[in-house]
């Protein structure tokens, strides 16, 4: 029996894809879906979103002249099939591994990744910029932005549509509507999309066929066919998009190539310049039963068994920081009916799913809308509520003006629970929680804490609940805690007071956050070499514990600060204090922070080692400051500031 060559083996690039007959594309879709499932089963990563766009990926690369035509994937977490088709199949099993392919689109990785992403809702803006750039250059190419229904909640998407709708650019927005975000989507826009779908059926095959038959007969008929097509969109739905100046086309079954291809071809060849919005309906996890059945659990997966769908999660030794935050806040809210919790589309990622079970009326999922989340919390604080905004460090970046203008200037007691602080591993640079210490500590009125373990996190949650004087933030890392006991009733901390964890007299390590464990390991190592070492947990970067810093400076020869963040954060504040108070005489100060570069995805431990933020690097810094030359074997793997 002769085995047929998988069609995917014939396609390493879009150029090769475009040489296939249209009737080979169905087989290609099957191969591509299977390859995506197998690759992610080896690497872990974002599965459901990619499976939902397999047909769309094939259709877009088949019909458009990528990379000359620009194809932009919003968020970028659905781009694995795109990577397989764009010369990266041979590396697809390195996805999200150190040195391997990024889990998102990345311009530096491939000419086919027209725009890098990781955060949502940027694609229409970037696409419009490209479309305008092309037309200023007199070029005629297409720009296609694929954006999910979940990502359609963010302000940026509307800012971009508002701008695009008033222009005449060749921008094609594909709204990939799978009726899912990470969790089920929420909000009026999501309800509107559902209504749009329920009020009309897909463009039927017959209608499409009729249009194809009319497609190229003669110029008059061609024009008429197009007019009919666009008029249909105008009349039968998509009114919001049309009011915003888009040609609305759809809804289209995004898993049916016989529908996708003619419609996209029509849009591509249309004489109308645009902008277009093609409403494509898909299913998250399509073609893989476990991912279809539990779209939320298969949004992001660890390695899994393809046959059973069972994910191989490493056994946890301790509860996650996220869970401890969720549980502690839930208990605090049992006693305090003013506590409310806000998430921007990440209920399980932030632990607010735990809170929501007990306090559904006090849980607000505002969808992907971090800016709104912060100002919404500010409004709640005006009404004497105690709002906790739980947002990852990286996504909070988007709400910076809201933190400054709506919260800090008005000194409103909004509580910022900042998860995923520090390196996050496989998601890489776009998701790294590097900057919040710097961007929060520079704000008047703000209190900034970092948890060194999960018991401290519980206490910081309680501290924030009791702090009505102004805004307060506490940060904690991704992943599991260190395994300490959690107090049943966590006591609030005294604002601006740190603690000495281990006492010595030559080297002092002042840790802000979860590097405390590495600091303790380093202290052991140094002590074994006869160097007496103090370790302190700063707890607060703002206000600083000035008494503690003074004491450490006066009693030691070397003061090392360490934090899971960029330059300009805790170390900078401590150094500023030391210098202004003439505390540096006879003292060697060594601030350790993330290097001045965006570090790629890898295991967090490797990222910390590279960043010179592990125990070995702390020892190195101490020995170097004491004038003891040391050549530890990990040294050359590190990045130095
Ligand atoms: C600004 C921002 N906030 C939150 C996230 C986290 N996030 C990643 S994907 C996602 C859901 C996106 O839903 P949708 O656009 O519909 O894509 P789907 O996964 O359904 O294909 C969320 C909330 C993000 N990437 N960026
Ligand atoms: C694509 C995206 O932004 C999220 O899916 C993110 O990858 C989730 O990260 P966690 O796994 O840390 O929740
Ligand atoms: Mg979606």
The enclosing domain of 90 has a CATH number of: 3.40.50.970
Q: pLDDT value at position 235?
A: 41
Distance 346 CA to ligand 2 centre (A): 9
Residue nearest to atom 24 of ligand 1 (CA): 119
Ligand nearest to the CA of 368: 1
**Low-confidence winner among 125-129, 239-243, 535-539 (lowest mean pLDDT):** 239-243
Selection from 476, 405, 480 nearest residue 445 by Cα: 405
Sign of the CA dihedral with 84 first, then 430, 128, and 136 last:
negative
**C-alpha span between 365 and 471 (Å, rounded):** 21
Any catalytic annotation for residue 292?
A: no
Residue 389 in 3-state DSSP? strand
Query: Tens digit of pLDDT for each residue in 16-72?
Result: 999 999 999 999 999 999 999 999 999 999 999 999 999 999 999 999 999 999 999
Supply the residue whose CA is at minimum distance from atom 23 of ligand 1: 345
Q: Would 307 be classed as within a structural domain?
A: no
**Is the pLDDT higher at 3 or at 223?**
3
Q: What is the mean pLDDT of residues 544-562?
A: 98
- 52 alpha carbon to ligand 3 midpoint, in Å? 9
Cβ of 290 below 6 Å from ligand 2: no
Range of the domain at 83: 7-301
> What pLDDT is recorded for position 402?
98
The answer, yes or no, to whether residue 634 has pLDDT greater than 50, is: yes
Q: Is 276 helix (H, G, I), strand (E, B) or coil?
A: strand
Share of the chain above pLDDT 70, in %: 92
- Phi then psi for residue 247, to 5 deg, are -80, 120
| From 89, 106, 284, 539, active-site residue | 284
- Which residues lie closer than 8 Å to 287 by C-beta, 6 or more apart? 33, 37, 51, 54
Tokens encoding 204: 């039927």
223 & 256 share domain: yes
Sheet with 540-542: list strands edge to edge. 363-365, 339-343, 386-392, 415-419, 472-475, 447-450, 540-542
What's the gap in Å between 49 CA and the centre of ligand 3? 7
Query: What value of ipTM does the predicted structure carry?
Result: 0.99
How many other C-beta atoms lie within 10 A of the C-beta of residue 424?
24
Indicate if the pLDDT at residue 1 is higher than 80: no
Confidence of residue 412 (pLDDT cuts 50, 70, 90): very high
- Whether residue 21 lies inside any domain: the answer is yes
Domain-embedded: residue 490: no
Is residue 515 a part of any domain in this protein? yes
Digit-coded pLDDT (tens) for 318-337: 999 999 999 999 999 999 99
Ligand 2: which atom is nearest the Cα of residue 431?
Answer: 3
Which two structure tokens, joined as six digits, stand for 257? 């190539």
Alpha-carbon span 287 to 285, nearest angstrom: 6
Ligand 1 centroid to residue 123 C-alpha, Å:
12
Alpha carbon of 595 to those of 171, 415, 565: distances in Å? Answer: 38, 29, 9
Number of structural domains the chain divides into: 3
Lowest mean pLDDT among 49-63, 234-248, 607-621: 234-248
pLDDT digits (tens, 9 = 90+) for 303-318: 999 999 999 988 888 9
What number of H helices and E strands is found in the chain? 26, 19
Q: Which residue has the higher pLDDT, 364 or 273?
A: 364
Tell whether the model's pLDDT for residue 191 goes beyond 60. Answer: yes
Whether 581 is covered by a domain: the verdict is yes
Same domain, 505 and 598: yes
Residue 243 falls in the annotated catalytic set? no
Active site residue 4: no
Residue 482: left if φ>0, alpha if ψ -120 to 50, beta else—which one? alpha
User: Does residue 13 lie in a domain region?
Assistant: yes
**For the segment 92-109, what is each residue's pLDDT rounded down to a tens digit?**
999 999 999 999 999 999
Is residue 250 over pLDDT 90? no
Cα dihedral value 13, 121, 107, 268, nearest 10: 40
**Residues 452 and 554 occupy one common structural domain:** no
C-alpha–C-alpha distance, residues 437 and 439, integer Å: 6
569/463 same-domain check? no
Please report the pLDDT score of residue 58 as a whole number.
98
Q: Is 178 annotated as a binding residue?
A: yes
Nearest Cα residue to 366 out of 385, 398, 390: 390
Please tell me the number of the ligand nearest to residue 419's CA. 2
pLDDT of amino acid 199: 72
What is the pLDDT, as a whole number, of residue 318?
93
Q: How confident is the model at residue 214 (pLDDT cuts 50, 70, 90)?
A: very low
Nearest to 570, CA basis, from 583, 578, 561: 561
DSSP SS3 for 42: helix
- Helix (H) / strand (E) element for 475: namely strand 472-475
pLDDT at 200: 65
Please indicate, yes or no, whether residues 328 and 276 belong to a single structural domain of this protein.
no
84 and 121 together in one domain:
yes
- Whether 206 and 260 map to the same domain: the answer is yes
pLDDT mean over 587-596: 98
Task: Report the separation in Å between the CA atom of 193 and the middle of ligand 3, taken as the mean of its atom positions.
Answer: 11
Q: Which atom of ligand 1 is nearest to the CA of 181?
A: 13
Query: Looking at the structure, do residues 345 and 412 belong to the same domain, yes or no?
Result: yes
pLDDT, tens digit, 9 for 90 and up, residues 439-474: 999 999 999 999 999 999 999 999 999 999 999 999
Q: Is any ligand 1 atom within 6 A of the Cβ of residue 45?
A: no
Question: Comparing 110-119, 228-237, 406-415, which segment has the lowest mean pLDDT?
Answer: 228-237
219 and 360 belong to one structural domain: no
Q: Which ligand is nearest to the CA of 49?
A: 1
CB of 430 within 6 A of ligand 1: the answer is no
**Same structural domain, 287 and 337:** no
């Amino acid at each position: 029996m002769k085995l047929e060559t998988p069609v995917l083996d014939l396609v390493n690039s879009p150029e090769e894809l475009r040489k296939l007959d249209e009737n080979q594309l169905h087989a290609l879709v099957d191969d591509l879906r299977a390859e995506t499932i197998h690759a992610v089963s080896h690497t872990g990563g974002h599965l459901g979103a990619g499976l939902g766009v397999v047909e769309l990926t094939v259709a877009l690369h088949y019909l458009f002249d990528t990379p000359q035509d620009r194809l932009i994937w919003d968020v970028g977490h659905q781009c694995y099939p795109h990577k397989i088709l764009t010369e990266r199949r041979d590396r697809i099993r390195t996805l999200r591994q150190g040195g391997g392919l990024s889990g998102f689109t990345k311009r530096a990785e491939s000419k086919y990744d027209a725009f890098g992403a990781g955060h949502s809702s940027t694609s229409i803006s970037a696409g419009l910029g490209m479309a305008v750039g092309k037309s200023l250059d007199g070029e005629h190419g297409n720009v296609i932005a694929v954006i999910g229904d979940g990502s359609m909640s963010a302000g940026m998407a509307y800012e971009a549509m508002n701008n695009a709708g008033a222009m005449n650019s060749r921008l094609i927005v594909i709204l990939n509507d799978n009726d899912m975000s990470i969790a089920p989507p929420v909000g009026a826009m999501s309800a509107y999309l559902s209504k749009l779908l329920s009020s009309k059926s897909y463009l039927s095959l017959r209608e499409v066929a009729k249009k194809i038959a009319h497609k190229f007969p003669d110029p008059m008929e061609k024009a008429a066919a197009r007019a009919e097509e666009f008029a249909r969109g105008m009349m039968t739905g998509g009114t919001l998009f049309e009011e915003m100046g888009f040609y609305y086309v759809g809804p289209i079954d995004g898993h049916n190539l016989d529908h996708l291809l003619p419609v996209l071809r029509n849009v591509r060849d249309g004489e109308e310049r645009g902008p277009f919005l093609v409403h494509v309906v898909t299913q998250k996890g399509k073609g893989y039963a476990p991912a279809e059945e539990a779209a939320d659990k298969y949004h992001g997966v660890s390695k899994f068994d393809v046959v059973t769908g069972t994910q191989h999660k490493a056994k946890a030794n301790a509860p996650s920081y996220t869970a401890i935050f969720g549980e502690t806040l839930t208990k605090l809210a049992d006693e305090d009916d003013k506590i409310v919790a806000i998430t921007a589309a990440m209920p399980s990622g932030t632990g607010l799913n735990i809170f929501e079970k007990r306090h559904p009326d006090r849980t607000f999922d505002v969808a992907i809308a971090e800016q709104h989340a912060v100002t919404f919390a500010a409004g709640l604080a005006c009404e004497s509520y105690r709002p906790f905004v739980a947002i990852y460090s990286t996504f909070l970046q988007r709400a910076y003006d809201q933190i400054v203008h709506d919260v800090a200037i008005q000194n409103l007691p909004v509580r910022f629970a900042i998860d995923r602080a520090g390196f996050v591993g496989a998601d890489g640079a776009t998701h790294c929680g590097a900057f919040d210490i710097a961007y929060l500590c520079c704000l008047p009125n703000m209190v900034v804490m970092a948890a060194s373990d999960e018991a401290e996190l519980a206490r910081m949650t309680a501290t924030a609940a009791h702090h009505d004087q102004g805004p307060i933030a506490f940060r904690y890392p991704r992943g599991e805690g260190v395994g300490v006991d959690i107090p049943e009733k966590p006591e609030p901390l005294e604002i601006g007071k740190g603690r000495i964890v281990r006492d010595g007299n030559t080297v002092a390590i002042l840790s802000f956050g979860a590097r405390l464990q590495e600091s303790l390991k380093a202290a052991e190592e140094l002590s074994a070499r006869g160097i007496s070492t103090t370790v302190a947990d700063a707890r607060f970067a703002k206000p600083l514990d000035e008494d503690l810093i003074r004491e450490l400076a006066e009693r030691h020869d070397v003061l090392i600060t360490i934090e899971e963040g960029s330059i300009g954060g805790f170390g900078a504040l401590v150094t500023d204090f030391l210098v202004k108070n003439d505390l540096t005489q006879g003292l060697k100060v060594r601030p350790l922070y993330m290097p001045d570069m965006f570090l790629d995805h890898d295991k967090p431990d490797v990222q910390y080692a590279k960043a010179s933020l592990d125990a070995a690097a702390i020892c190195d810094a101490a020995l170097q400051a004491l004038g003891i030359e040391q050549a530890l074997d990990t040294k050359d793997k590190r990045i130095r500031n």
